[in-house]
Amino acid sequence: MATKPSGQSYEYVLYGSVSPANHAALLHRLRGLCTGATTGGSTFTDREITYKIEAGAASSKVKVRQSLDAPDAPWLLVYHGQLELGDSSRAAGVRTVVSAACSHTLTDCLSYLGFMPIGELVLKGQVFRKGGVKVLVFTMYQPSDVTDLDSIQPFSQNYLVELTAFASSSQDRAIDELRNFAEYLKPIVQMEKTDGLR
Amino acid sequence: MEDMKVSLESLYTNKVKEIDYEGEEHYQERSSLSQHVTELAQRVDFSEVTEGKEGEPAVKKATQKWPWEQPHSKLKQALTEVSVLADMLHILHDHRHYMAMDTVAPRPTPSLPLAFQYIVKKKALARAAEILKRGTEALTHSSSREERAFHRALAELRRRWRVRRAPNGNILGDLGYSTAGSTHVPQSRAIFEVKKSTGTESSQAVSQPPAEEQGKEKEILSITIFRELRGSSEVVIFLSSSPVRACESMSAVGTIPRVPPRRPLPSWETKILAAQNIIFNQELFSHLTKEAYNTKTTLPYEVYTDRIIAPLSLNPPCWLSVHHVREYDDNKQRLEPVVVVPSELPPVRWDLVVAAKLLLRQRHLRSVALFPPRPTSTRYTDNPTLQNAGANALSDSKIKTADKKDNIFQSLLKMAKHMHNEERLRQWLVELVGSSRGDPVLQLHWVPSLSMTETAVYLHVKSEGGGHSVNVQLSVETVTVGLVEGGTASCPMDKDKLLGILRHQVVVYQMFTAVQVAEKASWIILQSFTRPQLSSTLARDSGNYLEACNILLQSPDAHNKLDILLEWKHVSVSKTHTNASDADGPCTATKFKMDSKFGQSFHQRFSNLLGTMA
């Protein structure tokens, strides 16, 4: 059913990492667990630029996500709130997410508003889905020239695994689904509630 | 060895006393001789001095050690060990002088007589043969003909069905549609168990009559399913002028007409397919009842656990009746066409049944084939338009409209209404064509289409010298007519209104024909109206001027004017002299029929008319 996904929502997140030696085993397990992944999952190449604006003593960050393998797709402007990790009763970190699909002139607009780019990443990997849980297995690259994807160098040989589930409120059953799915991935990858992209 | 000098002084090492903050090390200074002697004296235990006679000096005990006792003993020990090592190396190097190396004498083996040796070997071989024989028996058993056939049948089953081995060793298969995208929870567990059949079991499991089994291969697999999934089930839909409130028997309705499979299905597959059909029909009917119950309408819907009665329209009456027919008879679990007993029920609309089932499968596939999010921070969606446009591109109302398209019951209602209206349209058009005789000739051409909510018909108007096609499109409850003069006209399913439009289109075509004839005969076209003006007396006198057309002509010699009113099967002509005043009124007014029932076409008759009126 098509629903409007923009606007504020909550996102449950779990991060983990896996070495190249176990990467094939992880993909094999995800193909067995996930929906519609019999062909091997869907590969993606995304570019993420982090912008920052300072208003006096306070500063705020937003991220711009562009799909390099689907040029017609709209760019996504995302604001992530603080990732709450302290609640021991909760199995995953939760943060508010405000997102909006924008046109391809988004970067110019942000620069005009006073946002400064502070970092850029290229993410390459595969995306899977199991019910409401989205699984990303990817590596991060430091691009020197975004137009030449062959020249980018990875930060590390390891793969980052990100499990996310959207929820309409901070108390949702999506976290149970996320936790159960994380159990399926043991012992190949140990998912933890940390901020993996820091 | 003689030249080697060994120092007996302790090796002085630089001890670090302190390290500054700058990193500079301060070493402990080397003690002078007097300091060294003082340290040594402090080690002497004067309390052990024995008390002797007075005046006699104290005699030290023999146990008082001299300071070099320890290094002396260590060195002596080291010398001993080194000497031993040196001697050993010497012996090993030159062992001929000190050792005599000889081979180990072989242990004498007891020798048995040859006969006993043969017996021992024979027993050992017999034991080995017994082990091998046991192994081959097991292998022979597993590769027996029955086992091979069972595994072959199991492989065949596994090619088309999801089968797994349970922890207790049973082989279980999946009957549900959950892996195909369904979120429905069946009333009973959607599994079946597979076993190797024995002779007695196969005769109970197979539903075919024994006579058919003769000459066939004995059934290898025995399929067991839950009692709730045995029997047969079907969702049947009736479209009739009165509601169908009872339909309890499969024999009264039959099953969906199917194309027979290329090869005859094994009985176990027939059984499984019937059970899966039951689960699918349960899910379909549950969706239909839920959506029918939630439909907001002023019409009186009746929703029960086994039937839905919904009126499409009350005038004329048309009812949609959806029944979930279920039979629990084990002997009748089959998918072959059921022998239908003639009953009072109207014929089942299998096209609507198939459409409903396809819509449900479409919903399943939509939940499975979601478009991957691009970029990956977005969510999964089943709408590619939403994916590419972005969430903010579509308004809430447009998204809600997209959601409504997923309602199976609403789609079914639309299709049923369209089928009902299509039948009515067919009757009206046939009536229209039948009522027109002579020229122009009316023909109908139905455009074949796979759509269940759109129908297109062409009404061909043919006359001497040409013709025209009027396009009529029916979309559920609205009819759109393509006009001869250009543009379209829409109207609801109203017989008088629709036929009035179509009759008017025929008249418009006749008007264009008349204009061509007049131009050919050098008459001057003063005015032509597809809708007659009320200023015309003929229009005022006509009873149905809305379906008429009006032409004003002037004779070639400019003496006469003709006011022609074209109607369905009638032409009224009023002739006026050009010089006559309004007070005089028209000189001649003629009204006559233009249907050429007796041979002449409209073209010919209008030409004759102009000839007489000139």
Mean pLDDT of B114-123: 92
**pLDDT of residue B82 exceeding 80:** yes
Which residues are B16's β-sheet partners? B27
The CATH number assigned to the domain holding A57 equals 2.40.320.10
**Whether B370 and A129 lie within 8 Å, measured CB to CB:** yes
> Tokens representing B52?
């002797």
CB contact under 8 A, B374 and A70: yes
The long-range contacts involving B71-78, CB below 8 angstroms and separated by at least 24 positions, are B71/B8, B71/B10, B75/B6
Tell me whether residues B378 and A123 touch, CB distance under 8 A: no
- The three-state DSSP-derived secondary structure of B183-210 is CCCCCCCCEEEEEECCHHHHHHHCCCCH
B472-486 average pLDDT score? 91
Say yes or no for a CB contact (<8 Å) between A2 and B396: no
User: In this predicted structure, what is the pLDDT of residue B445?
Assistant: 94
Is residue B389 within 8 angstroms of chain A, CB to CB? Answer: yes
Nearest to B379 among A65, A102, A166 (CB): A166
pLDDT of residue B391: 54
Q: Which of A117-131, B7-21, B319-333, B444-458 has the lowest mean pLDDT?
A: B7-21
Count of structural domains, chain A: 1
- B100 or B594: which leads in pLDDT: B100
Domain that holds residue A74: 7-185
Chain B nearest CA to A86, separation (Å): 24
pLDDT tens digits for B188-219? 888 999 988 776 544 344 333 343 433 344 57
Please report whether residue A106 resides in a domain. Answer: yes
Tell me, yes or no, whether A198 lies in a domain.
no
Give the model's pLDDT for residue B214: 37
A117-171 tens-digit pLDDT:
998 889 999 988 887 788 999 998 887 665 666 667 788 888 999 999 887 765 5
Alpha helical stretches, state H, B176-295: 199-205, 210-213, 250-253, 267-294
Residue B208 confidence (pLDDT): 39
ipTM: 0.79
**Most confident residue range from B75-79, B333-337, B369-373, B406-410:** B75-79
Query: Which residues in B lie closer than 8 A to residue A5 (C-beta atoms)?
Result: 378-379, 381, 391
Residues in A 103-142 with any Cβ partner in B closer than 8 A: 123, 127, 129, 134, 136
> What would the mean pLDDT of B37-58 be, rounded to a whole number?
65
CA distance B549 to chain A (A): 52
Region for residue A41 given its phi and psi (left: phi exceeds 0; alpha: psi -120 to 50; beta: otherwise): left
pLDDT confidence of residue B203: 39
Strand runs (DSSP E) across B538-587, as ranges? 549-554, 560-567, 570-577
Cα(B286)–Cα(B280) distance, rounded to whole angstroms?
A: 10
Distance from CA of A72 to the nearest CA of B (A): 7
Banded model confidence at residue A2, pLDDT cuts 50, 70, 90: very low
Taking CB atoms and an 8 Å limit, are A2 and B386 in contact across chains?
yes
Residue B206 is predicted with a pLDDT of: 39
At residue B593's C-alpha, the angle toward residues B588 and B595, to 5°, is 145
Ranges A36-50, B119-133, B430-444: which has the least confidence = A36-50
CB pairs under 8 A between A and B: 85
Lookup result for tokens 């590596």: A139
Question: Is residue A42 domain-resident?
Answer: yes
Provide the shortest C-alpha distance from residue A123 to chain B (in Å).
10
Residues 50-89, chain A, touching B (beta carbon < 8 A): 63, 65-67, 69-70, 72-76, 78
Residue B535: predicted pLDDT: 63
Tell me if A166 is assigned to some domain: yes
pLDDT tens column, B231-261: 888 999 999 998 888 887 777 777 777 777 7
Do the beta carbons of residue B460 and residue B427 sit within 8 Å? no
Q: Where are the domains of chain B?
A: 142-229, 232-251+267-331+346-375+393-410, 436-614
Q: Which of B133-147, B377-391, B456-470, B586-600 has the lowest mean pLDDT?
A: B586-600
pLDDT of res. B498:
92
Q: Is the pTM of this model over 0.95?
A: no
